[in-house]
Amino acid sequence: MEQLKQKIREEGVILSQQVLSLDSVLNHQIDPQLMMEMGKEFAARYAGNHITKIVTVESSGIPIAFATAYFLNVPMVFARKKKTRVMDEDSLVERVPSFTKGFVTELVISRKMVLPTDHVLIIDDILANGEGLKALHRMIGTIGAPIVGLGVAVEKTFQKGSLAFREMGVRVESLVKINSLADGIIHMD
């Protein structure tokens, strides 16, 4: 995905050897045309897999998940990060330690939104250590819906999330692989 790679090269800000800020690309501002292209790409890679639902985690995953759901013509569900007062009682909750935020959050998903009969594609913006996506994966497993695979815009191969998923036998598709942030350079595939 050359267009995304170029945007990351131009606008990504290296904060440490582990952390790359993509605020103006994925996490705070987005380019809707590029997001639609990214969604179209995931839809193409997972075409013919009988996906019935796209699941993501709020918030940065929502635009890409939405675009993917649009092209696959299925609903999109976003797990919430805190139990709001109006959420129904029939909800699953998982704890997630977040590296970038420095604290534990709770992920919430309603059993009404993802059914055991669904075929789920999980979409998110960045796969680093993958704690949030692992929690989401556990929750969908608890519901009993088969997970067809995972699609992430950016895979940080030098952190342990993508390897962990592949070792679990989960198909992982990424649009850009970041292999290192050493020496102040974003090394990408």
Residues that bind a second copy (CB under 8 A): 13, 15, 19, 21, 23-24, 27-33, 35-36, 58-59, 62-63, 66-67, 69-70, 73-78, 80, 82, 84-88, 100-102, 109-110, 112-113
Q: How far apart are CA 152 and CA 165, in angstroms?
A: 12
Compute the least distance from the CB of residue 77 to a second copy, in Å.
5
Residue 95 burial class via C-beta count within 10 angstroms: exposed 0-12, middle 13-18, buried 19 and up:
exposed
Closest approach of Cβ 75 to a second copy, in Å? Answer: 5
Q: How far apart are CA 94 and CA 113, in angstroms?
A: 16
Q: 66 or 165, CB closer to a second copy? A: 66
Min dist CB 119 to a second copy, Å, is 16
| Contact predicate 176/183, CB 8 Å | no
Q: What are phi and psi of 42, to 5 degrees?
A: -65, -40
- In DSSP terms, 55 is beta-bridged to 77, 122
Instruction: Pick the closer one to a second copy by CB: 35 or 172.
Output: 35
Q: Which is nearer to a second copy, 14 or 167 (CB)?
A: 14
For the bound state, the minimum distance from the C-beta of residue 68 to a second copy, rounded and expressed in Å, comes to: 9
Q: How far is the CB of 177 from a second copy (least distance, A)?
A: 20
Per the listing, tokens 């059993």 go with: 111
Q: How big is the CA angle at 120 (ends 26 and 60), to the nearest 5 degrees? A: 15
Nearer to a second copy, 126 or 164 (CB): 126
Q: Which is nearer to a second copy, 58 or 173 (CB)?
A: 58
Three-state DSSP class for 153? strand
